[in-house]
Structure 1
Amino acid sequence: MSSAGETWTEAYVDAWRSNDAQQIGALFAEDARYLTSPDSEPRVGRAAIVAGWLEDLDDPGTWSFEWSIIHEDESLVLIQGRTQYPAERDYLNLWVVRLDAEGRATAFTEWYMPRPHQD
């Protein structure tokens, strides 16, 4: 049986692949905060998160993502990942996600470190 963090992360990756507004919105609580980096201006609220995602989306097939959960408790999930953009660059990722009782994110912060592209 999948944990809440695994279920949420799988749904996030599915939404990332599809760029479907309903799938994206379903990930987040109505008043969620989404930061694309720790020092970025947060997108606040589901509508702003969806709009920002669709303005800055990754086209399907242009990336791959490997991940694992490194910590999870009842409301906090830490996800370690590696995003590869074959035509560009690779990134190591740390996502800090707070989930509500329904399994929707109330807060999402991404930390990432670019690394040299590796074939």
Structure 2
Amino acid sequence: MTTAGENWTKAYVEAWESNDPEHIGALFTDDARYLTSPDSEPRVGPAAIVAGWLDDLDEPGTWSFEWKILHEVGDFVVVQGRTEYPAERDYLNLWIIRLAPDGRATEFTEWYMSRPHEG
């Protein structure tokens, strides 16, 4: 049985692969806060989240992402990932997600650490 955190993360990766504004916006509640780093100014609400995402999108096929849930209790989810951009760079990722009862995120904060490129 998959967890709410697994379902949300899978949907996030699908939205990342498509860059479809509807898929991106559907991940978040109306008052969701998306932080691209712990100390960044949050993007608040789906419209701002989608706009920020599309301003800094990754083209499909230019990256791969492996992930696992490190911790999930109630509405609190921690995801560890690795994003590989074969043409240029790799990152280790840590995501902190808070989910609403309907499975959408109310808050998403990401950390990403550059690592030596292996490609």
Matched-pair identity in %: 73
After the TM superposition, which parts of structure 1 deviate over 3 Å for at least 4 consecutive aligned residues?
Answer: none
Distance in 2 (alpha carbons) for counterparts of 1:21 and 1:92: 25
Q: Flag structure 2 segments of 5+ consecutive residues without an equivalent.
A: none
Match of 1:44 in 2: 44
Match of 1:6 in 2: 6
Which runs of structure 2 are paired with 1:1-119 in the superposition (5 Å)? 1-119=1-119
CA deviation after TM superposition for structure 1 residue 40, in Å: 1.2
Two-structure CA RMSD over aligned residues (Å): 0.6
Q: Deviations over 1:17-75 (max 9, x none)?
A: 00001100110000000011111111011110011111110000000000000000110
Q: TM-score, normalised by structure 1?
A: 0.98
List per-residue Cα deviations over 1:69-117 (Å, max 9, x = no partner): 0000110000000000011110000000000000000000001110000
2 CA distance for matches of 1:104 and 1:58?
Answer: 22
Residue aligned with 2:86, SS: coil
- Counterpart CA distance in 2 for 1:29 and 1:88 is 33
- TM-score, normalised to structure 2, is 0.98
Q: 1-side partners of 2:116 and 2:38: how far apart?
A: 22
Question: How many residue pairs get matched?
Answer: 119
